[in-house]
Amino acid sequence: MVKGYVPVGLSNRHVHLSKAHIDILFGEGHELCVFKDLSQPGQFACDEKIEVVGPKGALTMRVLGPARNETQIEVSLADGFALGVVPPVRDSGDLENSPGAKLVGPKGEVVIDKGIIAAARHIHMHTSEAEQFSLKDKDIVSVKVEGKRGLVFDNVLVRVHQNYALEMHLDIDEGNAAGIKNGDKLAVI
């Protein structure tokens, strides 16, 4: 049974930085510059980029704002291979025992001992939308994709908050595997 439809947002590799790390990488008191607002209210892509250096290779990544309590680097498993680390599949904020890296900015660099994850697939929902879907925060649902690369994503975490907008977040590997693009509407079942 279809509970409703959610638009997809495909996440490319990106970095969330703590205030302390912004100061080190971009200079004391630096304020992040808004490049583009994101679908989730208050979240934005920044002009700023940094280099993330792993044991095997380095990748340039865009910073997303605003600053967070803890620095978190979200990559695909393919990106992890390029860096030379194996990112665990985790919910945002769950960083224990994840690999670290050297972060290089225009004004400085810092070594972090954890923070690289592959984000677990999830759906953001406003409180009112959760009611329409008959779902609540932390529910687990499945989401069906039609077409030649049709599949059903299981274990999709539902996150409900009055500051969230309806959107399902997948990484590029997941988007390619299902043959979908940004904005496609998928059925929550």
**Which of these segments, 13-21, 108-116, 125-133, 173-181, binds its own copies (CB under 8 A)?**
173-181
Q: Does 16 bind its own copies (CB under 8 A)?
A: no
Given candidates 89, 109, 138, 185, which one binds its own copies under the rule CB under 8 A?
Answer: 89
Q: Between residues 74 and 174, which has the closer beta carbon with respect to its own copies?
A: 174
Contacts of its own copies in 68-87 (CB under 8 A) = 76-78
Phi, psi at residue 79, to the nearest 5°? -60, -45
Given candidates 15, 174, 186, 188, which one binds its own copies under the rule CB under 8 A?
Answer: 174
First to last CA, the chain: 6
Whole-angstrom distance, CA of residue 140 vs CA of residue 146 = 20
C-alpha distances (whole Å) from 38 to each of 29, 64, 184 are 24, 9, 16
Angle at 104 between CA 98 and CA 110, to 5 degrees: 60
Per CB under 8 A, residues contacting its own copies are: 76-78, 89, 120-121, 147-155, 171-174, 176-179
